[in-house]
Structures are given as structure tokens and as C-alpha cells.
Amino acid sequence: MAELVKVVVDAMGGDLAPVEPVKAAVEAVKERKDILVILTGQEEVIHSELKKYQDYPTDRIQVVNATEVIETAEPPVFAIRKKKDSSIVVGLKMVKEQKADAFVSSGSTGAVLVGGQVLVGRSKGVERPPLAPLIPTAKGVSLLIDCGANVDARPSHLVQFAKMGSIYMEHVVGIKNPRVAIVNNGAEEEKGNALVKETFPLLKEAEGINFIGSIEARDIPAGYADVIVCEAFVGNVILKLYEGVSSELIHKIKDGMMSTLKSKIGALLVKPALKQTLKSFDATEYGGAPLLGLKGLVVKTHGSAKAIEIKHAIFQCVQFKQQRINEKIAEKIQPAQFPAPDKE
Amino acid sequence: MAELVKVVVDAMGGDLAPVEPVKAAVEAVKERKDILVILTGQEEVIHSELKKYQDYPTDRIQVVNATEVIETAEPPVFAIRKKKDSSIVVGLKMVKEQKADAFVSSGSTGAVLVGGQVLVGRSKGVERPPLAPLIPTAKGVSLLIDCGANVDARPSHLVQFAKMGSIYMEHVVGIKNPRVAIVNNGAEEEKGNALVKETFPLLKEAEGINFIGSIEARDIPAGYADVIVCEAFVGNVILKLYEGVSSELIHKIKDGMMSTLKSKIGALLVKPALKQTLKSFDATEYGGAPLLGLKGLVVKTHGSAKAIEIKHAIFQCVQFKQQRINEKIAEKIQPAQFPAPDKE
């Protein structure tokens, strides 16, 4: 067994805190022996929550007190600066100081993103750390990179996203030689906005990635590529529309099933099987979005994350650490000041 | 009854031509007395197709010969220039020369867009004619403007899109005081990429539109706004992802229903009701995307459009003409060289 991987979990973050993060911590250490979970947040609240559980390895859950809570509505930069004793700031600092390997939070996305960059810091050579959620597809999952808060990326950012995303998909998700595609408004090479046109040849030339060209948004759910490269504004639209269309359609289907007596009876028979299939199209099964390219790992889970999602995120962190992803990223990302050597 | 509205239909355009366009023409003139349809394409092919039908007002279908066909794969600009006797070029020229009011095609989107701009020409003051499909929502339909081929729009383009889209939704679709929103990566006013940040205050100040602020992609399917303003790259992603997520999800649901004996029986009972509901989420019911801001109307229907979609597009053209949409657009769009008067 490898050494313990230390994962900080924000016990105060998200709509369902502290109940779900604490539950996730307990389940994670029960399920795997190589994990130590550190819960940050208001000590008393966490301890009284932990009391609900018996029969878990108590030596592998620690509590670190943090008296403040950053609310979702707070301006992120200001919140990170001001609330030095918040569960997010305390947790991220532990990663920065290498007292922990990773930080998982369902709290304010903005605060986690800003905090990750400011407090943990970027890996050498990484120009912009992308937030990269896994999205469900017909074939499993794809990594949508970037969905972060910094929009209007440069071509060099997108090339780094492609490289970091490939490493993640290969070594954390386990897809050999992952197919990389750039989101475009057509399949032809001459298509694209200024950013895509400039990035396309760079991706074609980039070494160590399996670039397959453009992907139209229509083909994303079918699973045509494993690493979907785009700048964050577009990534945000894709991620949220995925959610919006699915939930609207499922609503429509439920309404349809309830519309006649005959269909109501049918619905009862169909329900168990349908539940199983729809689960595979549910983003929350995949355990949160990593913020890549930092000196440590930061994972953002949904604001409404339940224990199962947070637990998966914790496991992701273990895989990330054991697979030495940050070292692999550092090897592959060349610092910008040194131009890549010419090919011979 | 108003005078006849003359709509040219491209009889050679789309995967199902000439069968579906010709069928649409016949059904359109049978259903409404105020329409004259002009079918462009290879005369003999069209006439032999028309022979299938009896009992329709033959005097309100005309055939104009065009020997060439533009294929979807051809580079649009080149095709429009070279194939002067194609169904698309001949049809668009009739609109240009005011021999017809509108042109409907299921053929090459690129050729229709380029041809519309080059051959029909822009209305005075319109900087960029947007392609604006109607997309299904929980509340009906919204206009997604722009999904055209020209990406990287300027703020002034987006403001014009908002105005043209409002006129269209009010007078063609019949929504009073349509709500206009700009696609953004968050609901807060400080969110956005450079384009959105620059456009937002201009939309806030623009007169004659009901601007309600930003819309996140998640809220588009729920029908939070009637006119969804975005630049064409983002519009393309939204339109195609809508299609991709819906079709993937419907696949999953069908698979789920077929997975057990119990669910198969349920599926039989549920099917008729479900079909009806899913129909309301089917973009093809709404009759194609208008290319707005031209000296005439050009409507692009899906490449796989059936007669019903083409017929709806023809009806859209009638509404467009009878509601004097182009005149309304011309009144509302100030030519760029004259700055808008200051408010007092």
C-alpha cells in the first residue's frame, strides 16, 4: 500500500454542508485504507456531525478548526483576502504548505478558483490553471477543459489545456491515448473564430497529444473525443446547457408519462430501468471538477453535492497523487519563456 | 385577403429534395390562398414530381428552371460565384430583383448565407445579417440570434441582433414585448468575456427592446428569455449542443426502456403520450431559421427538412411579408454612420 494521501475536505462548503461532506469523509476512509481526510470548518459543528457515525477508522479523519464561512454570493477575491480563517482559505493553505495533497470543496466556485490560484499557486510554466469537469457521454465521460472563471484565453493557454487534459484522462480516468478535439463551429479546418483558427495549427504540431481536429458541439454528447478543448466562456455555455437541456427534457418526459392513464401505468413499469440509464447521464456521479496546473490538487464539487460525489472527488485526489499527475504536468508543460526546440 | 406573397422554394436543396420541397409547396398553396410558390431547380425533375399531386391550385405553383445544384460540401463563396444557374442563385436573384418576396432552402447553409448577403444584399444600416433559428423551450420557442457563419461579432452587431430579433418575435411569432437576454457565463453584471462586457451597457441603453440582462446557458431551455443574443460561434455551440444532448438522452431513454421485460411492456404503454411531448421539443416543428436584415427574406431549413418544416417556413415568409418586418427593421436600425441622438 502506498503512503497515506491527505485530502482536505471543506466541511462548510455547499448547500448540504456539513452533513454531506462529513458523511463523504467517513465513507471514504472506511472504503479505502490509503486515505487521510482532514475536515476544515467549525470544529464543534464537525465533531457533532461526526458523532453520528460509529465503526470508522477515527485515526484517519482529522478536524482543523476554521471559524469563518465564505458564502456563495460573496465577491471571491474579496472573500479570500478577508476571511483568512474560512474553511476554504485554511484548507488551501494546508495544500500550499504541503501539509495536505489536495483540497475538495462544494463551496463558492469563484472563491475556490481564486483561492486555488492565489494561495496554492500555479505549477511552473502553467499560464492559466483550467477548471475541467468530466461530462457524461454515450461512451462514458469526456473532460471539458476549460470551464473556469478566466475567459478570453490565448492560443497558448488552450495548448496547455490539451496537454494537461490528456494527462488527466490517461492517468486518472484511465483512457489510453485520449483523443483531443477543439470545439468549433464546423468540422472543416478553415472554420472557427480567431482564437480557434490560431490554436488549431498549434494543436496539430503539439507533441505528446492525440489531436483529432475540430469537434462540433452536436458530437460532444456522442463521445467523439475524450478531451474537449475550449476557452472558458464557451466551456461554461457547454457545461450549463448540458444540464439545462437534460433537465428540461427529463421534465418533458415525466410530464408525458403522467399525461394519460395508460401512460401512467407504463411509467410505473418503465421507471426502475429508466432510473438506471439516466444515472449514467448524471454529471454528479463523476466526482467534481479538478482545477489543474496548481502546486497541489484542488477539486470543485457541485454546490448541491451529496456524499457520493464528494467521496468520488476524494478518490480522484488519491489517484491524482498516486499517479504523480503534477509531476507529469510539469514535465510536459514547458515554461513559456523557453521556446520549444525546433523539429529536425 | 392581402395580395399574394411570392415565396421561392429551392426544389433541389437538402437531403430529401426534390420530394419534400415539392410536397411542401403543394401543401402550402392548398392550405392558404395568399401564397404563390415558385420552385427553382431542374424543370423536368420538378414537373415529374409535381405530377404526383392532383387537386391543388396549379396556378399558384410556378417552376423556374435552374440546371445546376450546389452541393453541401462545396466552398460556399466559390459555389455562389461559379454556379450562376443553380437553384440557390436563381432563387436569391428573384428576391433581389423583387420578383419574389422570400427564398426558402434546405440546401448548403454556407451557400444560402453567403448568397443571401451577396446576392440579396443587406438592408440599409444593417451591419451583419444574423441567422436566427427558433429553439424549443419549456414555454414555447426562443429566437437564438446569431447562429450564422460570421463569427467574432462586434458589440454594435449584437445590439442590432437584439433589435431585429425583438421585431421578429413580436410580429412573426406573436410574443408581446419579447424579453431579450445576452448569453453570459454568470448572472451577475460583472461577468462575461470582453465582447459581452462591452455589449451589456449598450443593450441596457438601447431603446425599443425589453432587455432583461444576462442569461446562463442552463436557463435557455427553461424559456427565461424570448430573444437570446450571442455571437455566432457561441450560437452555433448552443444550437448544436441542444440537438446533441437531446438526441443522446432520447437514445439513453429508449435503451433504458428496452432493458428489461417489464420496462418493454411499460414502453408500449408510455410511447404514444411520450411521442406527443417530445414533439414539442423538436426544432423541426418550427420551420427554419430566418436570415434577418436583408432586402427580402431568406429562410434556411434543416438539411434533412421534411415537407412540414418547409411548409412552416413558407408560412413564416407570408407572416414576415404581411407584417412588413423589413420595413420595421429599417425603421429601428439606425445606419451606423449616424450616431444615435443623446437622451435628454
Three-state helix/strand/coil letters over chain A:
CCCCEEEEEECCCCCCCCHHHHHHHHHHHHHCCCEEEEEEECHHHHHHHHCCCCCCCHHHEEEEECCECCCCCCCHHHHHHHCCCEHHHHHHHHHHCCCCCEEEECCCHHHHHHHHHHHHCECCCCCCCCECCEEEECCEEEEEECCCCCCCCCHHHHHHHHHHHHHHHHHHHCCCCCEEEEEECCCCCCCCCHHHHHHHHHHHHCCCCEEEEEEEHHHCCCCCCCEEECCHHHHHHHHHHHHHHHHHHHHHHHHHHCCCHHHHHHHHHHHHHHHHHHHCCCHHHHCCEEECCECCEEEECCCCCCHHHHHHHHHHHHHHHHCCHHHHHHHHCCCCCCCCCCCC
Cβ–Cβ below 8 Å for B273 and A263: yes
pLDDT at position B335 is: 58
Cβ–Cβ below 8 Å for A240 and B218: yes
Q: What are phi and psi of A184, to 5 degrees?
A: -145, 165
- State the count of interchain CB pairs (< 8 A) between A and B: 201
Q: What are phi and psi of B57, to 5 degrees?
A: -70, 90
Strand bridging mode B297-300 / B289-291 = antiparallel
Query: Where does residue B72 rank: exposed (0-12), middle (13-18), buried (19+ CB within 10 A)?
Result: middle
Q: Assess whether pLDDT exceeds 80 at residue A184.
A: yes
Which regions of B32-101 does DSSP assign to beta strands (E)?
Answer: 35-41, 61-65
The β-bridge partners of A299 are A104, A290
Give the residue from A77, A139, A188, A218 with the most B CB atoms within 10 Å of its CB, the best one to mutate: A218
Cβ count near A207 (within 10 Å)? 8
Residue of B nearest to A255 (CA): B277
User: pLDDT-derived band of residue A338, with 50, 70 and 90 as boundaries?
Assistant: very low
Q: Assess whether pLDDT exceeds 90 at residue A206.
A: yes
B221: nearest CB among A245, A262, A272: A245
Tell me the three cell numbers of residue A111. 472563491
CA distance B6 to B25: 11
Evaluate whether A168 touches A187 at the Cβ level (below 8 Å): no
Q: Is B53 helix (H, G, I), strand (E, B) or coil?
A: coil
CA distance B182 to A143: 27
B267: nearest CB among A196, A270, A280: A270
The β-bridge partners of B140 are B137
Instruction: Give yes or no for B248 touching A (CB within 8 A).
Output: yes
Strand bridging mode A179-184 / A210-216 = parallel
Q: Is B253 helix (H, G, I), strand (E, B) or coil?
A: helix
Q: Where are the alpha helices (DSSP H) in B182-339?
A: 194-205, 232-257, 261-279, 307-322, 325-332
pLDDT at position A134 is: 92
CA distance B6 to B125: 25
A253: nearest CB among B222, B240, B253: B253
Question: Chain B 188-207, CB below 8 Å of chain A: which residues?
Answer: 192-194, 196
pLDDT at position A325 is: 93
CA distance A283 to A281: 6
pLDDT at position A284 is: 57
* Mean pLDDT in residue range A80-104: 97
**Gap from B251 CA to chain A (nearest CA, Å):** 9
Residues comprising chain B, all counted? 344
Cβ–Cβ below 8 Å for B222 and A263: no
Q: Give CA separation, A116 vs A81, A299, B99, B272, in Å.
A: 13, 9, 63, 51
Which has the closest alpha carbon to B212: B190, B182, B235, B186?
B182
Q: Give CA separation, B242 vs A249, B124, B146, in Å.
A: 10, 33, 15
Instruction: Give yes or no for A74 touching B (CB within 8 A).
Output: no
CA A186 to chain centroid: 27
Peptide bond into B75 cis (omega under 30): no
Residue numbers in chain B where pLDDT is lower than 50: 337-344
Cβ–Cβ below 8 Å for A262 and B240: no
Residue of A nearest to B73 (CA): A188
Give me chain B's average pLDDT, please: 91
**How does pLDDT run across A154-177, given as a tens digit for each residue?**
999 999 999 999 999 999 999 999
CA distance A94 to A86: 12
pLDDT at position A52 is: 96
Least confident range from A36-50, A197-211, B270-284, B315-329: namely B270-284
Q: Assess whether pLDDT exceeds 70 at residue A286.
A: no
Domains annotated for chain A, with CATH where assigned, are 1-126+293-335 (3.40.718.10), 132-283 (3.40.718.10)
CA distance B107 to B88: 8
Which has the closest alpha carbon to A299: A5, A34, A9, A24?
A9
Which has the closest alpha carbon to B52: B316, B313, B314, B307?
B307
pLDDT at position A2 is: 59
Which has the closest alpha carbon to A26: A44, A2, A50?
A50
CA atoms within 13 A on the CB side of A186: 19
Which has the closest alpha carbon to A295: A13, A151, A143, A103?
A103
**Gap from B269 CA to chain A (nearest CA, Å):** 5
CA B297 to chain centroid: 10
Tell me the three cell numbers of residue A123. 505549477
* Mean pLDDT in residue range A301-318: 93
pLDDT at position B2 is: 59
CA distance B133 to A217: 16
Q: Is B129 helix (H, G, I), strand (E, B) or coil?
A: coil
CA distance A142 to A134: 5
Predicted interface score ipTM higher than 0.85: yes
pLDDT at position A341 is: 47
